[in-house]
Chains A and B, each alone.
Chain A
Amino acid sequence: MPGAATWSLDEGDYKRISAHLNALLKESNARCALLVDRAGQLLASVGEQLSFDPTAFASLTAADFSANDQLAKMIGEPEFASLFHQGEKESMYLADIARRVILVVLFDERTTVGMVRLRVKHTVTDLVALFDEMFAREAPGSATPSQRGGLLEGAEDEIDKLFGD
C-alpha cells in the first residue's frame, strides 16, 4: 500500500452509528459519546452539547490511544482495547473499534464506570460489524466503486481555482 487508504462515511452510516451511540447513552446514563478515527478525525458525536473544541479533542484522543498502544506492546500486550481516565467529577472511557476507530464515552457521577464498561461492550460489538462492512466497501478491488471517485472526479479545475492557479 503506497499510502493511507481513503474511506467515506455516508448519511446512512452516520444514522446507524448515531442510533448505536444514542442507545448506549440512554442505557448507560453517560453524558456523550464520540467516535474518532485513528488518524485523529472526529466522525460522530451524540449526547450533550460539547463545551470544548471537538476537533482538538479528537486529535488528542487518537494520540492518547496510539501512545498507549505502544506502551501495551512494550509490556508484552498486543494492545489495550480500552482505556479509562478518571477525574474528580468527569471521567472518560475509550474503547477500540476494529483497530480503526475509537469510541469515547464521557460520563459523570450519574453513572459508574462499571455500568459504562458493561454497556460499551455491546456497542463495540455492534460498531465493529458496522465498520467492517464500511471498510470492506472501500477496500481495493471491492465490487462497488467507491463514491469518492464520483465526488472528486473531474474536479481538477475546481481545485486549481481554489488555489488561485
Chain B
Amino acid sequence: MSMINYASREINCKLVYYGPGLGGKTTNLEHVYQKVAPDTRGKMVSLATETERTLFFDFLPVDLGTIRGFKTRFHLYTVPGQVYYNASRKLILRGVDGVVFVADSQLERTEANIESMQNLYDNMAEYGYDLTKIPFVVQYNKRDLPNAAPIEEMQSQLNPGWPVEDATRKKVIPDPWHEGDYLVEEIDGMWIERAPHFESVATTGDGVFDTLRALAKTVLKALS
C-alpha cells in the first residue's frame, strides 16, 4: 500500500523478500544495510531467534532518491522462511507494493523453493492480491555454489510465466537484463509473461542491488 505523504513530502513503499528458509533473504537486507550511505537508511530491525533464524521479520528503511521533490522511501521486509512460521509470514504481506522471491539455487532445495512459491501465491490470494499484477522479481541466490541448479531449469520450475489476458499487453517485451530473453512473448499461439529474474550471491553482494533497483523502479513506474 504505497502512501504519499504531502505533509512530509515522502512516497513510502513496502517491498517484501519472500522465499524458503536459509535462502538468503536476511543476507540481502544486511548487504543493502552495509552498502547504502548511513544518512539514507534507517535502523535495521531483526526479530530473530537466538540462532539468528528470522522469527517474525527483518525491517530496513532506505531512501533511494528524490522524484518531483518527494523522497522515495522504501521499507524492505523479509519474512521467516521456515514452513512452520506461516501465520506470521502472511502478516508481513499486508499492504505490500512489490515482492522479491529469493530462491536457493542448490539442487537439494528445489522442492523447498517450489513449496515456498506456492505458499506466496496462496498467501497473496488470501489478501486478494494477484502476484501476476503487482511488481514482482525472482532472485536466484547462491549461484557460486557447486551444486547450483541451471538457471533454465529453475526458471521453468519457479518462473514459467502466466497467460497474458489483457489484449494491450500482448506485445513482445525483451528482457532488459538478459539479452535474447523475453518478459512477454508468444509461444505456440499463447502469450505469456514472466517476472524479471536475477542471479545473485548475497554473501558477497553480487546481484543484490540489481534485484532491489529493478523492483523499486517497477513499483514507482506502477504509481506513475
Contact = CB atoms under 8 A, between A and B. Distances in A.
Contacts of A5: 1
Contacts of B72: 162
A152 B220 contact: yes
Contact of B129 (A3, A43, A152): A3
B6 A10 contact: yes
In this complex, which of A39, A60, A67, A151 has the most chain B Cβ atoms within 10 angstroms of its Cβ?
A39
Chain B interface mostly: mixed
Q: Which of B45, B70, B134 gathers most chain A CB within 10 Å?
A: B45
B57 interface: yes
Contacts of A70: 87, 91
Interface string A1-29: 11111111111011000000000000000
Contact of B5 (A8, A38, A152, A163): A8
B64 interface: yes
B96 interface: yes
A8 B6 contact: yes
A39 B133 contact: no
A91 interface: no
Contacts of B96: 3-4, 39
Contacts of B75: 39-41, 55, 59
A31 B47 CA distance: 27
A37 B1 contact: yes
B189 interface: no
Contacts of B57: 59, 63
Given A39-B14, A63-B91, A156-B221, A162 B67 contact: yes
B65 interface: yes
A112 interface: no
A154 interface: yes
A59 B94 CA distance: 12
Contacts of A163: 213, 216-217
Interface in B149-174: none
Interface of A: 1-11, 13-14, 37-41, 43-44, 53, 55-56, 59-60, 62-63, 66-67, 70, 147-148, 151-156, 158-160, 162-163, 165
